[in-house]
């Protein structure tokens, strides 16, 4: 692979980092009209890590000023992570609250792995609920698929209010409405066409769900979106991808879409070499550069909305 190609792949795989990540602070845009008109009450829960009180309260205030009633879980306004049982209770209570129209995660972090096995999924299946989150919430969203409970959306949470872009907010609303969305051109790493429902999210969390639990949904026929933060050793990042492939989990996937990877410096160079080579070993089309993940320009993904990938690398919803 020549240097020009490597540079293009770098720009594609790490697109979100290159799109204003260093200018992402203090963008507290109004969230008026963020949710569909049938959403009157927003439920805020925190099944993973604690969100700083200042960010939490500012986010809640913004939603209220936008005209939404906000219900905050009993164990959200805390200084330290609540016990697993309390986080489970909070999540179930808010999901089953007849007044709550949508569940909006406060933040990701860590801890959802302890929650998913304790949730009463049979009880949750008694009420349809839209749930929005990503990062550590990858564990909950994908378990929702395997347990056939609720409607998962992967994308910006309340903690993103201080950084996400205006076009991400507009996309968020259109995706929730099921409205037409603009086609997005991405980088083709392995040619082919694909069509299917999406799944996936944070690489480490998806790998953990697949390799350590029995709660992972099948990837057969699905378009698997993958993003990752930079907090992990690069060799682990590569190993997780290899194991997802070698366990056969991606064998029948419709396509794989690499989104934002935050690695920089030498780790970025390693990924720029590894991901295109890895893509060639999969049995499905592979593209890179979709705007989703830990970055200001992050587009909400509806796990129940079919996505198509064309031969020339255009993603259509």
Can you give the three-state secondary structure of 11-58, one letter per residue? HHHCHHHHCCHHHCCCCCCCCCCCCCCCCCEEEEECCCCCCCHHHHHH
The whole-number pLDDT of residue 28 equals: 79
pLDDT for position 17: 41
**Homologous superfamily of 41-162:** Murein tetrapeptidase LD-carboxypeptidase, N-terminal domain (3.40.50.10740)
Residues linked to residue 65 through DSSP beta bridges, in sequence order? none
Residue count of the chain: 317
Tell the residue number behind the tokens 């209770």, with chain if given. Answer: 89
Parse the chain into domains and list their residue ranges: 3-21+181-316, 41-162
Burial tier of 148 (Cβ tally within 10 Å: 0-12, 13-18, 19+) = exposed
State residue 55's pLDDT score.
Answer: 95
Q: Which of 194, 181, 190, 185 is nearest to 223 (CA)?
A: 194
* pLDDT per residue rounded down to tens, the chain (317 residues): 444 444 434 444 444 443 333 344 567 789 999 999 999 999 999 999 999 999 999 999 999 999 999 999 999 999 999 999 999 999 999 999 999 999 999 999 999 999 999 999 999 999 999 999 999 999 999 999 999 999 999 999 999 998 999 999 999 999 999 999 999 999 999 999 999 999 999 999 999 999 999 999 999 999 999 999 999 999 999 999 999 999 999 999 999 999 999 999 999 999 999 999 999 999 999 999 999 999 999 999 999 999 999 999 999 99
**CATH top-level class for 3-21+181-316?**
alpha beta
d(C-alpha 183, C-alpha 234), whole Å:
32
Q: Check: CB of residue 15 under 8 Å from CB of residue 260.
A: yes
Instruction: Please give the pLDDT value at position 228.
Output: 98
Cα separation, 15 vs 212, in Å, equals: 31
286, 253 Cβ separation under 8 angstroms? no
Q: Phi, psi at residue 184, to the nearest 5°?
A: -120, 130
């Amino acid at each position: 692979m020549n240097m020009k190609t490597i540079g293009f792949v770098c720009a594609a795989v790490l697109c979100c980092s290159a799109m204003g990540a260093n200018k992402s602070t203090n963008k507290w845009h109004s969230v008026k009209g963020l949710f569909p008109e049938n959403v009157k009450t927003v439920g805020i829960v925190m099944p993973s890590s604690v969100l700083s009180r200042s960010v939490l309260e500012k986010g809640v205030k913004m939603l209220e000023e936008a005209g939404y009633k906000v219900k905050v879980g009993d164990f959200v306004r805390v200084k330290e992570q609540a016990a697993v049982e309390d986080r489970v209770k909070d999540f179930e209570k808010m999901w089953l609250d007849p007044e709550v129209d949508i569940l909006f995660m406060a933040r990701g972090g860590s801890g959802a792995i302890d929650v998913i096995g304790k949730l009463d999924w049979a009880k949750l299946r008694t009420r349809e609920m839209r749930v929005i989150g990503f990062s550590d919430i990858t564990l909950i969203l994908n378990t929702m698929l395997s347990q056939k409970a609720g409607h998962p959306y992967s994308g910006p949470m309340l903690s993103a209010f201080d950084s996400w872009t205006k076009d991400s907010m507009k996309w968020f609303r259109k995706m929730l409405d099921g409205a037409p969305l603009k086609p997005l051109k991405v980088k083709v790493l392995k040619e082919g066409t694909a069509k299917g429902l999406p799944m996936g999210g944070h690489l480490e969390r998806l790998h953990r769900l697949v390799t350590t639990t029995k709660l992972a949904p099948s990837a057969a026929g699905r378009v698997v979106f993958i993003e990752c933060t930079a907090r992990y050793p690069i060799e682990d990042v590569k190993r997780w991808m290899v194991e997802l492939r070698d366990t056969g989990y991606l064998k029948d996937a419709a396509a794989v879409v690499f989104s934002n990877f935050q690695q920089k410096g030498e780790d970025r160079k390693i990924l720029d070499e590894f991901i295109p080579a890895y893509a060639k070993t999969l049995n499905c089309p592979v593209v890179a550069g979709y705007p989703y993940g830990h970055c200001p320009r992050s587009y909400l993904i509806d796990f129940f909305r079919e996505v198509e990938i064309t031969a020339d690398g255009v993603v259509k919803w």
